[in-house]
């Protein structure tokens, strides 16, 4: 005959009084079994003498039944304990898990916790708890540690209230005594309020860090552009010096690059720090999200105070000083060096080195020191208001003969240019415009720059900017100022004024004066054109994103003349 296997669970052999495995089991007349000591103690504490009932079915016995050990059941329980030990061990709590508060000896893993009883229960004991307190408001939640934290240390009552006046958790007795008259609400209401505040703070903090990260990335790109523009200008000037100063040319170039890398490194360190803070914030945000999922209000309120979100604003590195010191001061010093040659070589080179080196010191000035600088009163995201403000960013630009179309003729020390009917004998150059009567300036513009030009004649002019890689050959739109995605231009004539970009034209309501001011904020992505007469009048402003330094450029119609203004 095949052996029959019967599946049994531990709770089938548990005493309903002590909730443990039966010890010296006895069976009373109704058929229920208990530990001998448990049922005797239960009957000894009976309220009505002479009436003895079953703890489970409540059947009353009179007289008191005689108790004797159920030998068969005792052997079965003993065998179960021997053969079922390995299976039962699978339910024992690991060191990191919550243990059952009721289990004797080896503790089983707790699966539920009661907020009223402040205890945790395994599967068997949680079922017994539910049967015992069904309909009595004993809410079970997923097992959690430290149930004593949910009890008032003074009155040993469950914490259900929160005092907003003193900002602490309370029991009902606390409200009647030390916190009488205070603003007390339920822990659930306070948890909802604080959770909402924390989530709003988290969102604001994340957004602020993202904005700061974006600004730092732009600053790094901006410093690189400024460094490239300064390097390009230094190379242009040094290319005209004699062989005796070639060594100094390399040293100045290296000095600029070193300071540029130092400035970039400073901003990158800030960026790295910001990224670490973002990572930390994400971990904190994950903790908040995990905390928000708990149903234990007291646990939430006690743990949420340890969550911190950064609110301190990050001070941005200075950028306005970069183009000013790298371009204007260095260029002026190098021009002096070129004019004085060997007689002042050592003295002027030392002066250049000092000016470029001071870039890092200037960028590290405190906010109060920066306000003393010439243009620090104007925030990076705002524009100058008066002509005096614009002139703080004035650049003395010069035309580059290597880019001039052969029909352009220079005058006034190459600061003026006119279109003629006959071509000029210019040498071939890959940078020269072959079809359009256009010319660019020598240096690329980065940062905030301002310049002014005057024009006259019936042929009209175009005043604009372009990237260095704009096409120079052919008569198509790719090489026409303002007619492609790499250039922007203001077209001026005595009858109409229009703005051109990427084959799109916009006619402006006002006519152009003979003097035009151009303001460029590469970092802010702004290009503005102004009529200059008794006052400055805005003709047109462009908001865009410049991806590299731009070069001032001009188209001059036949019979017209354009001149760079010197202030």
User: How many C-alpha atoms does 211 have within 13 Å on its Cβ side?
Assistant: 10
Domain range 387-564, CATH class: mainly beta
Which residue is listed with tokens 């907003």?
A: 164
Which range is least confidently modeled, 80-89, 343-352, 411-420, 507-516? Answer: 80-89
User: Does residue 321 register a pLDDT over 70?
Assistant: no
Average pLDDT of span 310-325: 64
Q: Cβ distance 547 to 409 under 8 Å? A: no
Which range is least confidently modeled, 207-216, 251-260, 312-321, 496-505? Answer: 312-321
Supply the pTM of this predicted model. Answer: 0.46
* Domain covering 11-89, topology: Herpes Virus-1 (3.30.40)
Q: How far apart are the first and last CA of the chain?
A: 116
50: alpha, beta or left? (left if phi > 0; alpha if psi -120 to 50): left
E strand spans, 107-260: 112-114, 119-121, 140-142, 161-163, 168-170, 184-186
Outline where 456-502 has alpha helix (H): none
Q: Which two tokens stand for residue 343?
A: 């007689």
- 228 sits in which H/E element: helix 187-238
Q: Where are the chain's structural domains?
A: 11-89, 203-311, 387-564
Q: How confident is the model at residue 7 (pLDDT cuts 50, 70, 90)?
A: very low
**Residue (of 298, 296, 313) closest to 205 by Cα position:** 313
Q: How confident is the model at residue 2 (pLDDT cuts 50, 70, 90)?
A: very low
> For residues 116 and 137, what is the distance between their CA atoms, to the nearest angstrom?
8
**Tens of pLDDT along 444-492?**
887 789 999 999 999 999 999 999 999 999 999 999 999 999 999 999 9
**Tens of pLDDT along 36-84?**
888 888 888 776 666 788 888 888 888 888 888 888 888 888 877 766 5
> For residues 520 and 498, what is the distance between their CA atoms, to the nearest angstrom?
18
Q: Is 496 helix (H, G, I), strand (E, B) or coil?
A: coil
| Residue with the larger pLDDT of the pair 352 and 543 | 543
At 289 the pLDDT is 86
Q: How confident is the model at residue 428 (pLDDT cuts 50, 70, 90)?
A: very high
What number of other Cβ atoms are within 10 A of residue 444's Cβ?
Answer: 25
Q: Which two tokens stand for residue 394?
A: 């004035």
> For residues 452 and 464, what is the distance between their CA atoms, to the nearest angstrom?
11
At 319 the pLDDT is 63
- β-partners of residue 454 are 515, 563
Average pLDDT of span 531-555: 92
- β-partners of residue 537 are 531
């Amino acid at each position: 005959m095949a052996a029959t296997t019967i599946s049994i669970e531990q709770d089938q052999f548990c005493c309903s009084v002590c909730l443990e495995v039966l010890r010296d089991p006895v069976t009373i007349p109704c058929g229920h079994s208990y530990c001998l000591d448990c049922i005797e103690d239960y009957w000894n504490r009976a309220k009505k003498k002479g009436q003895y009932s079953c703890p489970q079915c409540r059947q009353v016995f009179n007289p008191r039944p005689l108790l004797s050990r159920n030998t068969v059941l005792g052997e079965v329980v003993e065998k179960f304990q021997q053969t079922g030990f390995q299976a039962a061990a699978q339910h024992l709590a690991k060191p990191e898990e919550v243990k059952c508060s009721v289990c004797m000896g080896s503790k089983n893993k707790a699966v539920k916790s009661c907020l009223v009883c402040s205890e945790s229960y395994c599967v068997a004991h949680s079922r017994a708890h539910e049967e015992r307190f069904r309909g009595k408001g004993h809410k079970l939640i997923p097992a959690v540690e430290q149930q004593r934290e949910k009890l008032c240390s003074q009155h040993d009552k469950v914490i259900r209230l929160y005092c907003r006046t003193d900002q602490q958790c309370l029991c009902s007795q606390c409200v009647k005594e030390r916190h009488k008259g205070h603003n007390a609400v339920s822990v659930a209401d306070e948890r909802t309020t604080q959770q909402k505040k924390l989530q709003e703070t988290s969102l604001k903090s994340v957004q602020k860090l993202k904005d700061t990260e974006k600004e730092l990335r732009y600053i790094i790109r901006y410093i690189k552009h400024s460094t490239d523009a300064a390097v390009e200008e230094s190379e242009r000037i040094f290319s005209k010096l004699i062989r005796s100063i070639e060594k100094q040319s390399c040293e100045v170039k290296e000095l600029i690059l070193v300071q540029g890398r130092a400035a970039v490194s400073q901003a990158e360190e800030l960026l790295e720090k910001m990224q670490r803070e973002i990572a930390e914030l994400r971990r904190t945000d994950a903790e908040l999200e995990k905390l928000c999922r708990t149903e234990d209000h007291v646990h939430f309120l006690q743990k949420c105070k340890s969550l911190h979100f950064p609110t301190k604003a990050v001070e941005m590195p200075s950028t306005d000083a970069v183009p000013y010191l790298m371009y204007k001061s260095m260029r002026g010093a190098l021009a002096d060096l070129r004019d004085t040659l060997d007689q002042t070589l050592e003295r002027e080179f030392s002066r250049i080195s000092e000016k470029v080196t001071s870039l890092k010191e200037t960028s590290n000035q405190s906010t109060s020191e920066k306000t003393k600088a010439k243009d620090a009163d104007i925030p990076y995201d705002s524009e100058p208001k008066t002509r005096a403000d614009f002139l703080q960013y004035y650049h003395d630009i010069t035309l580059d003969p290597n880019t001039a179309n052969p029909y352009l003729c220079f005058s006034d020390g190459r600061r003026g240019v006119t279109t003629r009917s006959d071509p000029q004998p210019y040498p071939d150059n890959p940078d020269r415009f072959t079809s359009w009567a256009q010319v660019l300036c020598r240096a690329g513009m980065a940062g905030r720059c301002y310049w002014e030009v005057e024009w006259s004649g019936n042929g009209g002019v175009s005043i604009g900017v372009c990237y260095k890689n704009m096409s120079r050959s052919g008569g198509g739109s790719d090489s026409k100022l303002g007619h492609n995605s790499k250039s922007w231009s203001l077209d001026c004539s005595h009858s109409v004024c229009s703005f051109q970009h990427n084959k799109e034209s916009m006619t402006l309501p006002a006519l152009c004066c003979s003097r035009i001011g151009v303001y460029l904020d590469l970092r802010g992505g702004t290009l503005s054109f102004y009529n200059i007469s008794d006052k400055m009048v805005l003709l047109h402003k462009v908001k865009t994103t410049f991806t590299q330094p731009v070069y001032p450029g001009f188209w001059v119609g036949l019979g017209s003349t354009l001149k760079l203004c010197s202030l």
